Chain A
Amino acid sequence: MSAATKKMTFEETMKKLEETAENLQKEDITLEEALKNYEKGIEYYKQCDEILKKAKQKIETYSK
């Protein structure tokens, strides 16, 4: 499968990012948890961003 699915799919990474955002909005989150989620969030964001900024889109026609 594609590079995205080898580790985590784009969709999974985005879902994780959403989760960290939700966690951070909880009032009872500990300082440690907050920082951990923040770091994770940045990591997930970077992973998504990397895919979106990857090399130029290729359009090719197969010829036998």
Chain B
Amino acid sequence: MAAKPIKVSQLTTYIKRILQTDPLLGNVSVIGEISNLKHHDSGHIYFTLKDEKSRINCFLPRERVPGIRYELDEGMEITAAGHVSVYEKGGYYSLMVSDIQVEGQGDLAIAFDKLKQKLEKEGLFAASHKKPLPYFPLKIALVTSQTGAAVADMVKIITKRNNVTDILIYPVLVQGPEAAAEISSAIDHINTDFPETDIIITGRGGGSAEELWAFNEEIVARSIYASKIPVISAVGHETDFTIADFTADARGETPTAAAVMAVPDTSEIIETLNYLMETIQESLVESLKYKEERLKTLDLQNFRRSINERTEFLKYRADSLILSNSRAFSSMIGMMEERKENFMRMLEDLNPKNIMRKGYSVVTDENGIMINSTVDLAKDQQVTLIMSDGEADSLISEVRRNKK
């Protein structure tokens, strides 16, 4: 017989302690194929990693999900980093995932297609959301690596074509695990802190699928979509299509192409402007000449006669206008006067002296304040009666109030 029996929970707690104190299981990377992938409503992701012989349950907690650079799918081979943990209630162990790496070309393609489908369904690529590029931007921001060839190419092209547009170089990492977050926050930051920017170009020169991956990450697409400033995405070569390209307002096949697309050629503009100005000058001279010719051919006598006739007619019209207006004016004055008299009469009716003349009088106390209620009167009180033609001091001998 073995040692003294213990409870299930005691055994599980013991197993948990053993597993959790093991240095290897506390920080492990596991390669395997994803199956039973479930996105729970709570935001947590559950899946199983398997190889030909074995499988392990994996748990990707909600707060880790935004940091994962790849959209997951069934059958994808991934490397999951994390630690082994025991779920005591269920009595099983699982891998608590903190990061995921995808390396195989085929697996990256799966992640790419999965994210592309998801964002397309959400409307992030909709043509109706794409903003037109301003024809003549006064300021362009370049979100790219400061040391790459792309930034030098773009600055060269922009300054060669255009000597007006300002350039803001916003250096970011363009590859590696931190790149997507940097690109995304750069785009957000330019929108809030440099709102005068007319166009943002984000991109990098050519590289492997892994090197270009930052531009396939969801957070970059989200920031491009949210940007109020139009964004041109320019990643790698003509054949490289990224999620950023689909989301951006315009795609430059290469950084150089994006720079050409972004700014107009100022010397061409000056040429056009000068051509237009010449046309305007010439056309004016032309049309003046034409008018002059026409004037010469006019019969001056005839012209003067018609002018005279016209003047007569205008004079007649002016006179009749004045006449009819003065009539209207005087009738209006009559009406105003009548209204004024009515108003005066109304005021007169309201004059208290006129009311008193009809036999009413006013009672005031010794301070001259009008009394209009028996409540303010008492026996032997001194009051004054005011009539239209004089006053009389009086003494109250009795107060009789009306019953309510």
Contacts and interface: CB of A to CB of B under 8 A. Distances in A.
Contacts of B283: 21, 24-25, 34
A49 B273 contact: yes
Interface of A: 1-5, 9-11, 14, 17-18, 20-21, 24-25, 27, 29, 31, 34-35, 37-38, 41-42, 45, 48-49, 51-52, 54, 57-63
Nearest to A18: B276
A35 B285 CA distance: 10
Contacts of A25: 279, 283
Interface string B128-157: 000000111111000000100000000100
Interface of B: 134-139, 146, 155, 159, 162-171, 195-196, 198, 266, 269-270, 272-273, 276-277, 279-280, 283-284, 287-288, 290-291
A59 B155 contact: yes
Contact of B280 (A9, A21, A52, A61): A21
A60 to B, nearest CB: 6
Query: Which of A11, A21, A42 has most chain B Cβ within 10 Å?
Result: A21
Nearest to A48: B273
A41 B134 contact: no
Query: Which of A17, A57, A63 has most chain B Cβ within 10 Å?
Result: A57
A24 to B, nearest CB: 4
A22 B57 CA distance: 74
B294 to A, nearest CB: 10
Contacts of B195: 1
Contacts of B159: 57, 59
Contacts of B139: 2
Nearest to B136: A10
B277 A62 contact: no
A46 to B, nearest CB: 10
B146 A2 contact: no
Nearest to A11: B135
Contact of B287 (A20, A21, A24): A24
B280 A41 contact: yes
B136 A9 contact: yes
A2 B280 contact: no
A28 to B, nearest CB: 10
Contact of B171 (A1, A10, A51, A61): A61
Contact of A62 (B137, B164, B169, B273): B169
Nearest to B195: A1
A1 to B, nearest CB: 7
A52 B269 contact: yes
Given A25-B283, A57-B165, 15 more contacts: A11-B136, A14-B269, A17-B280, A24-B283, A35-B284, A38-B284, A48-B269, A57-B164, A57-B166, A58-B167, A59-B159, A59-B167, A61-B146, A61-B169, A62-B168
Contacts of A20: 280
B276 A34 contact: no
B131 to A, nearest CB: 12
Contacts of A62: 168-171
Given A9-B136, A14-B272, A62-B171, A2 B198 contact: yes
Contacts of B171: 61-63
Contacts of B287: 24, 27, 29, 31, 34
A17 B273 contact: yes
Given A58-B166, A60-B169, A1 B284 contact: no
B134 A5 contact: yes
Contacts of B167: 57-60
A44 to B, nearest CB: 9
B267 to A, nearest CB: 10
Contacts of B165: 57
